[in-house]
Structure 1
């Protein structure tokens, strides 16, 4: 939780429009629930926490709002991929996305995520990481990638 709030603070300080709602406790309950359900992962470098992300095979209310209902249940949703700022731009984010694709055990077809549409660097990151842009809802870009090609 602290890492996510620190990442949100760093983004705010750097005029990046992403996750400002976390600074006021937005998603605290969902974040804790994801941890309890073992959907949240941490990335360590020795004893240092350097990244975190959440993967869920169940649609949150936000996922339903952004992507619509998923009656086939064919997707895994990626939320809150956060790196310590010192690691941004060094390939760790791409390594995490590759690790997800290579290591999660699921019968789902797609990995889906969203981000603020006007966050151009993050949108570009997802495109160069092999995700396909599938539209926009409420100023959030939607992306998906086949898990098994």
Structure 2
């Protein structure tokens, strides 16, 4: 019997759940030697998640009542997005922080979460979704390509505030 993923728009009461998902992912990244998301473990929130929750841009997924993952789908560009993409006149949504609880690794949950983000963007009648990911993260790049995103360009030697890294930009054009 196939389990059904449910997407929930986070509210202020869900902030702790969102924080736990982000922390678990940051701890896992650290355990595999990555500095990505290390600011989360230092108590920093570069994405101002509480404000994003207030704006209705944070979503989490449950599978049979268990928290399975989350994503942020911004209605407008952050400063980060403007630096990566340039100004866009709000034609796009920006996908960030797609992550899953470790117990769901190796399942279709991450793909299902991205499908749900696409549905939300379609409802908002935007041109599509944009995202960035570190160029060195082969798995993530392959994941987004498999999810239908098209490589746009690479940003070389971008200073994240934690490290300098190359980033790949992807977009998904809505039908």
TM-score by length of 2: 0.77
1-structure distance, mates of 2:86, 2:106: 32
DSSP 3-state at the match of 1:53: strand
Q: Is the 8 A contact 2:131 2:171 kept in 1?
A: yes
2-structure distance, mates of 1:43, 1:91: 12
Counting matched residue pairs gives 147
Q: Which residue of 2 aligns with 1:95?
A: 112
| Match 1:119 to one of 119, 123, 137 | 137
DSSP 3-state at the match of 1:49: strand
TM-score by length of 1: 0.90
Say whether residues 1:82 and 2:99 are aligned partners. yes
Q: Which residue of 1 aligns with 2:73?
A: 55
Q: Which runs of 5+ in 1 are unaligned?
A: none
Q: Is the 8 A contact 1:75 1:109 kept in 2?
A: yes
DSSP 3-state at the match of 1:33: helix
Q: 1:16 to 1:128 in 2, by over 3 A?
A: farther
Q: Alpha carbon RMSD of aligned pairs, Å?
A: 1.6
Deviations 1:68-119 (A, max 9, x none): 111x321000111110112122111111111222344112101011111111
| Match 2:167 to one of 136, 140, 144 | 140
DSSP 3-state at the match of 1:34: helix
DSSP 3-state at the match of 2:48: helix
Q: Is the 8 A contact 2:70 2:113 kept in 1?
A: no
DSSP 3-state at the match of 1:59: coil
